[in-house]
Amino acid sequence: MESVIAKAIKLKYQPVALLWSDEKPADAMQFTEGKWGCVMWLAVHAAKGKAAVADKKTFGCFGGGVGLGFGNQYKNFPGGEEGFCHFLSSGNAERKGGMEIAEKIKPFMTKESHENYLHGERYIKSPELVEKFIAALPLTEIPTTYVMFKPLSDIDPTKEKPQTIIFFVNPDQLSALTVLANYGRGDNENVIIPYAAGCQTIGIYPYREAKSVRPRAVVGLTDLSARVYIRKQLGDPNFMTLAVPFALFEEMEKNVSGSFLERHTWQSLLSEDKW
């Protein structure tokens, strides 16, 4: 499956199709069970041309399990959901039992992760507010074994229907896709930027939007940790993601012809692109 949008905005990496599946390609990249990994690596792997998958035992990290739609995996975090609430905020060092848990898990963590467990990532002000953050997430239990990432060019639309199409974009391309998402709608709030992990902005948030009569696109990679994790893989610090529910992707594809993407303002930005 080819994308008219990808050609019009001259993507460096091809769009990625996220699918739900009970089968996986034999050569798909997959994390080892019990080993840490960032889900965004799977998406980047597909953007570079190779399939990748995750299931309930190989989602890489607890946030990744949540992000891909394997339920509330924060309950399985060391110290339970309370431990995660402290991890994302002020840390577990002062929490009752926190130091003991930290010692038990230390051999299985990087130095940075262990330090964060003790003293917090400080991404949310307090554990109480993290509880509200979790309550606001569109937690999902997908109906299949795998979440699969495939290069869009490998998709046969007669046999496969993606849940979401993910674009890795620079600021100019993100701007163009924001315009295109609103182009045929008649209103002006068809792209959202939720506060969430990188995997959640390509997973559960687009899943939620796909249920709407007028699904919106979701901007991602505002997750600072994910930006650190994938910078080397992408080779540039300026990438963002835009995750588009498939129905909206089809709408946007049809709207390329005759749009601003064929006019001089966009063409002038393309000519100045430093990719």
Check residue 272 and give its pLDDT: 75
In this predicted structure, the answer to whether residue 30 has a pLDDT above a threshold of 60 is: yes
**What does the pLDDT look like over 257-269, one tens digit per residue?**
999 999 999 999 9
Burial of 53 (0-12, 13-18, 19+ CB in 10 A): buried
- Report pLDDT digits (tens) over 198-241: 999 999 999 999 999 999 999 999 999 999 999 999 999 999 99
Q: What's the start-to-end Cα distance of the chain, in Å?
A: 24
Q: How confident is the model at residue 273 (pLDDT cuts 50, 70, 90)?
A: low
Which residues, 6 or more positions from 240, have their beta carbon under 8 angstroms from its beta carbon?
168, 169, 170, 171, 174, 219, 220, 221, 222
Residue matched to tokens 């991602």: 220
Q: What is the mean pLDDT of residues 30-42?
A: 94
Instruction: With residue 46 as reference, give the H or E element that holds it.
Output: helix 39-47
Quick one: pLDDT at residue 76? 96
Give the pairing type, strands 240-245 and 164-169: antiparallel
- pTM for the predicted model, two decimal places: 0.95
Q: What is the mean pLDDT of residues 153-163?
A: 94
